Amino acid sequence: MSVHDTLAATRARVRGASIPASGVMRLMRLPALTNETVADRDKPGIGGLVPSVSVVLVALVVWLVSASAGLYVQTLVGLFCCYLIAALGYNLVLGFGGQFAFCQSAFMAIGAYTYAVLAPDIGSILAIVAAAVVTPVMGALVGLAIIRTREIYLALITLAFAQATLLAIQLWPPTQGDNGIFVDLGGSFTYVFTIVGAALAMIVVLRLVRSPFGRQLAMIRTDETAAAAMGVNVVLTRVKVFALSAFLGGIAGVLLAGVLTFVTPANFTLELTLMLLTMIVVGGIASVWGTVAGVLLITAVRQLIPGIGDVGAYIDGGLLFVILLLRPAGLRSLIRLRVRQRSPRE
């Protein structure tokens, strides 16, 4: 066997390795990169035109339905799209990257308050640009700060960052503390911006996770040592994924501020991160369409059940507990199970 064949065989074994995670990640059973998924991701049609067109068509249908509905439905659509963008960014770090972080609500708060504070002085467009620049920079700094931490230590540090961010927002005079700030993003057309933002986020993430960068993330999630041995820059890749997650979180924060028309620190507490975590786990870790299903289910439960009030977090916890017990792979496993049952090969 030549050196080239040996290297190719080693690469195949590394890509196909299924190394169990530990701690909380083992409980969630992050899907390992297998030979089948590598082969699928190398197909030229995957992540191409069909998924993008599907997302655009769904977005058009949602817009047409929302346009003919009332303000209540438009607000629900806006909230769903905001949570979807944030959850997609969170899933990049948690699911595809295997980094158990707890700071997505902080990135949303940074984006929302950057827009809310700057918009009256520099205008909405420049304020959105500023939020889109500040949040990935903060995400990259967080990624650099925790580059040597793993598992529970990473979770604790990112949780501390989220709480420190919330405290800074409360104490910084321009944010007006708990009094909050009124936000005007697009008036009655804000829900349209959220639909466009969610569609673009879906298309970008669908193509990103099937790109070489997505394969590098999967290798790092499976085994960082093996990924580094294969030439993957682990440090740079982890910093990039935190920056991308923060960018999507910041955009989601801006849009959420526009939907709510009023932001306070209470909108970005730890409960928001836990809700996003529940959405990802319920839908399916490291699954884009699973994330859509999880966000849709949790948003519907929280917003459509009358009188849910402060018990929403308890309902989220109950759903999370049931899913982890019955379907650790999330709602996406039900779809795969149904497809396998209908397959004539089985």
HEC letters along 253-314: HHHHHHHHCEECHHHHCHHHHHHHHHHHHHHCCCCHHHHHHHHHHHHHHHHHCCCCHHHHHH
Q: What's this model's pTM, rounded to 2 decimal places?
A: 0.83
Q: Please, which pLDDT band fits residue 46 given cuts at 50, 70 and 90?
A: very low
Task: Report d(CA 9, CA 11) in Å as an integer.
Answer: 5
Q: Is 187 left (phi over 0), alpha (psi -120 to 50) or beta?
A: left
pLDDT at 231 over 80: yes
Query: Reduced to 3 states, what is the DSSP secondary structure of residue 201?
Result: helix
Identify the pLDDT of residue 128: 95
Q: What's the Cα-to-Cα distance from 322 to each of 171, 258, 329, rounded to whole Å?
A: 39, 34, 12
Q: Which two tokens stand for residue 291?
A: 């994330």
Better-predicted residue by pLDDT, 136 or 18: 136
**pLDDT single digits (tens) 156-206:** 999 999 999 999 999 999 998 889 999 988 878 899 999 999 999 999 999
Task: Specify the pLDDT at position 42.
Answer: 42
Q: What is the DSSP string of 241-257?
A: HHHHHHHHHHHHHHHHH
Q: Rounded to whole angstroms, what are the CA distances from 250 to 199, 263, 273, 308, 315?
A: 16, 14, 13, 27, 26
d(CA 205, CA 214): 9
Q: Which domains does the chain have, with CATH numbers?
A: 45-263+272-284+291-342 (1.10.3470)
* Contact between residue 220 and residue 238 where contact means Cβ atoms under 8 Å apart: yes
